[in-house]
A and B are shown apart, each in its own frame.
Chain A
Amino acid sequence: MNTATFSLATLAPAIPEIALLAFVSALLVIDLFVADRDRHVSFWLAIGSLLGTALLAGSLVGHPSAVTFQGMFVADPMSQVLKVSVLLSVAATLVYSRVYLEVRELLRGEFLSLSLFATLGMMVMISAHHFLTLYLGLELLALSLYAMVALQRDSARATEAAMKYFVLGALASGMLLYGMSMVYGGTGSLDIARVAASLAGTPQSQTLAVFGLVFVVAGVAFKLGAVPFHMWVPDVYHGASTPATLFIGAAPKIAAFAFVMRLLAQALGPLGADWQQMLAILAVASIGLGNVVAIAQTNLKRMLAYSTISHMGFLLLGILAGTDNGYSSAMFYVLTYVLMTLGAFGMILLLSRAGFEAEELEDFRGLNRRSRWFAFVMLVIVFSLAGIPPAVGFLAKLAVLQAAWESGFGWLVVFAVLMSVVGAFYYLRLVKLMYMDEPAGEITIAGRGDMRFLLSVNALAVLALGIVPAPLMDLCARAITASL
């Protein structure tokens, strides 16, 4: 190891992370001096930190790749795009959650600073260029999320969910570390570029590396929630408070995509032929089980959990293609998926009020009578999740399907489209409840003006991206080509 030649210039690529860390530390302190009734100050500080960091990260979009901290950290075009998306989606999450948290007296510094720490963890994951950095980011994210789920202390369900999440998450981290250590044994390095170079050439032990790969893939599948490592997803989605569910369901998926890209596509890329087959099995199982089991759910959060599982299967279809085309399609898929998830959970939060969680499917009954506009918002999001044009969900599916076909997974494509029909059924049920049934109880539309506005923009973006997808698709394609 050469002695670190430290200069401020080496910090430049990590400016957004450093800024966010400074912001969140400041927030922690400031929040101590904020009275409960002025909690909105902390809230807006958190939003401001996120948007400010997003601006910093956005200003770096288009810069060439830069590796710093002796190869621990990389800032490449892909990471900048993903970071901006993560920051914006966390900001949207907070805006959507605000009223819900206020009413339940959960809007304290804890939730906000945990959110920001989790965001920092995601950013570190996205920019990792070394297995240790990757793991560090992952754990920062995961620990914040465990605490966030457990934040609702007096709810037995939330505590149970946090416990399950923690135990299974720790197991997954263990597997991942075990796998990484074996890869280290096989290649002699933890640096992503060196691992790749070693595997492409003559590694010390190919067998050991492949053996490690199995554990890495299992760990990755845990984090993504792919079948058969999906058990925690429905329980956590259901048990956590809706803002926490929204948080877990949205931005971390982007980070998980980056995680998969760094680990599989970049570090273990030369073993592609091995992991493609593993991912194919995970994808088939996720798409199949996710769609079928979702039908049986009556709780919307649980249903969306199974829908997430199947969507992660689709995401894997893009990644397992193992081509630039596939990676950029998967990136497009994950970004649009997060947009849809934000909208779907945003709607649940909009309809929830003090002492009432609008999380059962039945709670959406007759929404069209109560509010045409928000019924339409949900309609767009639901059809997008189902992959029906003109919403963007269709184009995202098309992109990953054509990439999987190009790499010779035609049978997987046929399977996936057939399962989409099954999937359409439970999404339709929601549309049916909103439009074709009469309201059973009272429906109140909670939420402030800013939340309603953002939710409307969110749904319109889902629609608009379906009609004008080219800019985002090009952005993803350029980011992937420039980063790999």
Chain B
Amino acid sequence: MSQGFPILSLVTWLPIAFGVAVLALASDRNPAPARWTALAGSILGFVAGIPLWTGFSLAAGGAMQFEELAPWIPLFNVNYHLGVDGISMPLILLNSFMTVLVVIAHWEVVTEKVGQYLAAFLIMSGLINGTFAALDAILFYVFFEAMLIPMFLIIGVWGGPNRVYAAVKFFLYTLLGSLLMLAAFIYLYHQTNGSFEILDYHKLPLTMTAQVLVFLAMFMSFAVKVPMWPVHTWLPDAHVEAPTGGSVILAAITLKIGAYGFLRFNMPIAPDASHALAGFMITLSLVAVVYIGLVALVQSDMKKLIAYSSISHMGFVTLGFFLFNAEGVLGGLIQMVSHGFISAAMFLCVGVLYDRVHSRQISAYGGVANTMPVFAAFFVLFAMANSGLPATSGFVGEFFVIMGAVKVNFWYAFLAATTLIFGAAYTLWMVKRVVYGEVANPDVAALKDVNGRELAFLALLAACVLAMGIYPKPFADVMNPTILELLQHVTASKLR
């Protein structure tokens, strides 16, 4: 194993170090130093991650790259082991990118406890990168859980009126899941005679009962995070109450950790159980796609609508994974990245409106296009992407997943495809009511169009959405070798 420059440690610890610096600089009277430091930190964090993309070897197959290994707790054989493959690398970049956007987006909006707000995001960004890069189960768990603390504070301190309820619900839901996963890790630790290496767990033969139990314990943890129906109820609450930046990170990144967990833990560690329970997983995913899609249709709160739309889209991701074919998994992964861009964009759009009118209700708007034409153009573009219009990134993932589903069962594909109708229905209907028509009230009449700062993040996201929609090949190229190896691994039974 060649230990080159520790890029992964850098992308993990650099934002955290900047977060601590921001905390030290924070002052309520003059937030400027904290803001600029945070911006510098987030941009440096993203730049530090670029070598992961440029230096990524496609020839390495599914093997881990940029590995770092050092003993952490020798007594229990816990290692500081980092590494990325084609699944985790794009997610790290996505996260670092989103952090930059969140810092830009907060600028004039958050005025209270600015330093703590920014520090929470930077620290969380580092922890999320660590979660994606960790190859040691305990290290993963530490990052995974530590992330809850800043998120809890972000929702609870800067959120809406019912923020405390939402924050506590979010925390306890996630904690319940992860503690069961911890029990599974302890079991696997003793089964492997004292190893916390995730890659050792991949090779460990287990009986069917053990596999099912391990699968279910981890399922509890990741299903809550994704979130899958029926453990999704924390998400709309958290989203509605979270500040815009919190919603962006929550939707764009932390939901992906759940999906990532299925690929990194559930499927390779318990392949036989995964096959046995595939029907169960697919059913839950389809319920999310169809039922939650219908729920989204009747929402009157824009953030809630997008939150339900996120659950529905994440249903596509888990559906794709448990089809066990290359199209499905690739589609799911592309959908993850694409949904990161689109949901972030949608939440930022709602944030732009909310900052001006201070209402998230659809009924408070109408005819926004008349007063904010530039904003309306972006909003419509992102809405189209959310409903899966070809040439946007939203289409690519859904298309691949549906293709994969047809191969397995026509009816899966049929039900999944209904999302193209429901998704279009709830998104476009919302857009129609908010953006088009006559100017509905004096608030809307008084709206000012987006300023340069808002234009910057909307344009960046629009570029990403279109680029990925028109030319997804670079993403597919990075992901494919890992997916193929994963599928090969999952196909072979490791029953004992």
Q: Which residues of A contact B (CB under 8 A)?
A: 368, 372, 379, 383, 388-390, 394-395, 398-399, 401-402, 405-406, 410, 413-414, 417-418, 420-421, 424-425, 428, 431-432, 435-436, 469-470, 473-474, 477
Contact = CB atoms under 8 A, between A and B. Distances in A.
B219 interface: no
Nearest to B189: A402
Contacts of B138: 398
Contact of A390 (B116, B142, B175, B187): B142
A389 B141 contact: yes
A414 B145 contact: no
A428 B152 contact: yes
A432 B183 contact: no
Interface residues of B, number: 36
B190 interface: yes
B146 interface: yes
B193 to A, nearest CB: 11
- CB-based closest 8 A-B pairs: A417-B179, A389-B142, A436-B156, A421-B176, A473-B75, A405-B186, A389-B145, A402-B186
B434 interface: no
B74 interface: yes
Interface string B176-195: 10011011001101100000
B179 A421 contact: yes
A414 B168 contact: no
Given A402-B76, A431-B153, 17 more contacts: A372-B116, A379-B149, A383-B149, A389-B141, A390-B146, A405-B190, A406-B190, A410-B187, A414-B180, A417-B180, A417-B182, A417-B183, A420-B179, A421-B175, A432-B168, A436-B156, A436-B157
Contacts, number: 90
A389 B183 contact: no
A446 B152 CA distance: 29
Contacts of A428: 152, 168, 171-172
A469 B172 CA distance: 26
B171 A424 contact: yes
A383 B157 CA distance: 17
A413 B76 CA distance: 17
A395 B168 contact: no
10 contacts: A389-B142, A401-B186, A402-B76, A402-B189, A402-B190, A418-B179, A436-B163, A436-B167, A470-B71, A474-B74
Nearest to A436: B156
A418 B152 CA distance: 20
Contacts of B179: 417-418, 420-421
Contacts of B145: 388-389, 394
B151 to A, nearest CB: 12
B148 interface: yes
Interface string B106-136: 0000000100100000000000000000000
A424 B167 CA distance: 13
Nearest to A405: B186
B75 A414 contact: no
Nearest to A328: B75
A403 to B, nearest CB: 10
A420 B176 CA distance: 8
Contacts of B425: none
A153 B157 CA distance: 43
B72 interface: yes
A52 B433 CA distance: 76
Nearest to A469: B73
A356 B421 CA distance: 64
A436 B175 contact: no
A398 B179 CA distance: 10
